A and B are shown apart, each in its own frame.
Chain A
Amino acid sequence: MSVFYTATDHFVLLPALLLALFGCATLLFDFWVFPDPKQRRWLLMFLVLGELFAAVAYWRQFDFLSSHGGELTAFNGALVVDHYSLFFHSIFLVTTLIVGLMSYRYMEVRDEHHGEYYGLLMLAQTGMFFLASGYELVTIFIGLETMAVTFYVLVGFLRSDKRSNEAALKYLLLGGLSSGFLAYGFSLLYGLAGSTKLVDIGRMAASRDANDPILLMALGTTAVGLLFKISAAPFHMWAPDAYEGAPTAITAFLAVGSKAASFALLLRLMVGPLGAARVAWEPILVAAAVLSIIIGNLAAVTQTNTKRLLAYSGINHAGYILLGIVAGNPTGIKGVLIYLLVYTFMTLGAFAVLIALTRKGLAGEDINDLNGLMKKAPGYGIAMLIFLVSLAGIPPTGGFFGKYYIFLSLIETGHYSLAVFAALFVAVSVYYYFRLIRAVFVDTEEQETPALSTSFGLKVGLGITGVMTLVLGMYPEPFLRLAQLSISR
Chain B
Amino acid sequence: MQEHLLSIILFTPLVGVLVLMFLPRSQKTLVRLWANISAAAGLLVSIPLIVNFNRNADGMQFVERMEWIPSLGVQYLIGVDGISVLMVMLTTIMGFLAIFSSWDAVKDREKEYYAMFLIQQTGMIGVFISMDFLLFYVFWEMVLVPMYFIIGVWGGPRKLYAAIKFFLYTLAGGVMMLLGILTLYFVHFGQTGRYTFEIAELMKLNMPLGLQQWVFWAFFLGFAVKVPMFPFHTWLPDAHTEAPTAGSVILAAVLLKMGTYGFLRFSLPLLPKASSDHTIVTVLATLSIIGILYGAFVSLMQKDWKKLVAYSSVSHLGFCTLGIFALNQAGIAGSVIQQINHGISTGMLFLVVGVIYERRHTREISEYGGLAHVMPNYAIVFAIAMLSSAGLPLLNGFVGEFTILQGAFDANKTWAAFAVLGVIFGAAYLLWLYQRTMLGEVTNEKNKGLPDLNWREWAVFLPLIIWAISIGVYPKPYFDILEKPVAQIVHRVHQTANTEAAIR
The residues of A with any CB-CB pair to B shorter than 8 Å are: 374, 389, 394-396, 400, 404, 407-408, 411-412, 416, 419-420, 423-424, 426-427, 430-431, 434, 437-438, 441-442, 475-477, 480-481, 484
A394 B141 Cβ-Cβ under 8 A: yes
> Is the CB of B145 closer than 8 A to any CB of chain A?
yes
B176 A431 Cβ-Cβ under 8 A: no
> Is the CB of B283 closer than 8 A to any CB of chain A?
no
A438 B160 Cβ-Cβ under 8 A: yes
Question: Which 8 pairs across A and B sit closest by C-beta, in order of nearness?
Answer: A423-B175, A427-B172, A395-B138, A480-B71, A411-B182, A395-B141, A477-B69, A427-B171
- Binary interface encoding of chain B residues 144-176 relative to chain A, with 1 for a CB under 8 A from any of its CBs, else 0: 110011001100000010001001100110011
Cα-based distance from A260 to B186 in the complex (angstroms): 29
> Is the CB of B183 closer than 8 A to any CB of chain A?
yes
B186 touches which one: A411, A424, A475 (CB < 8 A)?
A411
A426 B179 Cβ-Cβ under 8 A: no
A441 B71 Cβ-Cβ under 8 A: no
> Is the CB of B45 closer than 8 A to any CB of chain A?
no
A389 B145 Cβ-Cβ under 8 A: yes
Closest to B155 in A: A442
> Is the CB of B137 closer than 8 A to any CB of chain A?
yes
- 8 new A-B contacts, CB < 8 A, other than A416-B179, A420-B179, are A395-B138, A424-B176, A426-B175, A434-B148, A438-B160, A441-B112, A442-B153, A477-B69
Taking the closest CB of chain B, its distance from the CB of A473, in whole angstroms, is 9
B164 A424 Cβ-Cβ under 8 A: no
A430 touches which one: B142, B168, B179 (CB < 8 A)?
B168
A400 B164 Cβ-Cβ under 8 A: no
21 A-B pairs with CB atoms under 8 Å apart are: A394-B171, A395-B141, A395-B142, A396-B138, A400-B141, A407-B178, A408-B185, A411-B182, A412-B186, A416-B179, A419-B179, A423-B179, A427-B172, A427-B175, A430-B167, A430-B171, A434-B148, A438-B152, A441-B149, A477-B69, A477-B71
Cα-based distance from A396 to B175 in the complex (angstroms): 14
A423 B152 Cβ-Cβ under 8 A: no
B167 touches which one: A396, A400, A419, A434 (CB < 8 A)?
A434
> Is the CB of B70 closer than 8 A to any CB of chain A?
yes
- Interface band, chain B: 20 to 34
**Is chain A's binding surface mostly helix, strand, loop or mixed?**
helix
A407 touching B182 in the complex, CB below 8 Å, given contacts A427-B175, A434-B148: yes
A407 touching B179 in the complex, CB below 8 Å, given contacts A395-B137, A426-B171, A434-B164: yes
A442 B142 Cβ-Cβ under 8 A: no
Taking the closest CB of chain B, its distance from the CB of A487, in whole angstroms, is 12
Cα-based distance from A420 to B153 in the complex (angstroms): 32
Cα-based distance from A419 to B112 in the complex (angstroms): 36
Closest to A478 in B: B71
B171 A411 Cβ-Cβ under 8 A: no
> Is the CB of B450 closer than 8 A to any CB of chain A?
no
**Is chain B's binding surface mostly helix, strand, loop or mixed?**
helix
Cα-based distance from A484 to B70 in the complex (angstroms): 12
Taking the closest CB of chain B, its distance from the CB of A82, in whole angstroms, is 20
Taking the closest CB of chain B, its distance from the CB of A229, in whole angstroms, is 29
The residues of B with any CB-CB pair to A shorter than 8 Å are: 68-72, 112, 137-138, 141-142, 144-145, 148-149, 152-153, 160, 164, 167-168, 171-172, 175-176, 178-179, 182-183, 185-186
Closest to B175 in A: A423
Closest to B135 in A: A395
**Which A residues lie within 8 Å of B182 (CB)?**
407-408, 411
B160 A427 Cβ-Cβ under 8 A: no
B175 A424 Cβ-Cβ under 8 A: yes
Taking the closest CB of chain A, its distance from the CB of B398, in whole angstroms, is 40
Closest to B183 in A: A411
B71 A481 Cβ-Cβ under 8 A: yes
Taking the closest CB of chain B, its distance from the CB of A253, in whole angstroms, is 30
Taking the closest CB of chain A, its distance from the CB of B148, in whole angstroms, is 7
B164 touches which one: A419, A420, A431 (CB < 8 A)?
A431
Cα-based distance from A396 to B176 in the complex (angstroms): 18
Closest to B67 in A: A477
A480 touching B72 in the complex, CB below 8 Å, given contacts A396-B142, A426-B171: yes
Taking the closest CB of chain A, its distance from the CB of B74, in whole angstroms, is 9
Closest to B139 in A: A395
B172 A424 Cβ-Cβ under 8 A: yes
A441 B152 Cβ-Cβ under 8 A: yes
Closest to B177 in A: A423
Cα-based distance from A430 to B138 in the complex (angstroms): 16
A423 B176 Cβ-Cβ under 8 A: yes
**Which A residues lie within 8 Å of B171 (CB)?**
394, 426-427, 430
B160 touches which one: A407, A411, A442, A480 (CB < 8 A)?
A442
**Which B residues lie within 8 Å of A477 (CB)?**
68-71
**Which A residues lie within 8 Å of B186 (CB)?**
411-412
Cα-based distance from A307 to B228 in the complex (angstroms): 37
B178 A441 Cβ-Cβ under 8 A: no
**Which B residues lie within 8 Å of A395 (CB)?**
137-138, 141-142
Closest to B180 in A: A411
Cα-based distance from A426 to B168 in the complex (angstroms): 9
Taking the closest CB of chain A, its distance from the CB of B385, in whole angstroms, is 32
Cα-based distance from A389 to B68 in the complex (angstroms): 22
Closest to A476 in B: B69
Cα-based distance from A404 to B69 in the complex (angstroms): 13
Taking the closest CB of chain B, its distance from the CB of A425, in whole angstroms, is 9
Closest to B25 in A: A378
Cα-based distance from A426 to B178 in the complex (angstroms): 12
Taking the closest CB of chain B, its distance from the CB of A203, in whole angstroms, is 33
Taking the closest CB of chain A, its distance from the CB of B307, in whole angstroms, is 23
Taking the closest CB of chain A, its distance from the CB of B124, in whole angstroms, is 15
- Select the residue from A395, A407, A480 with max chain B CB neighbours within 10 A: A395
**Which A residues lie within 8 Å of B149 (CB)?**
441
B179 A411 Cβ-Cβ under 8 A: yes
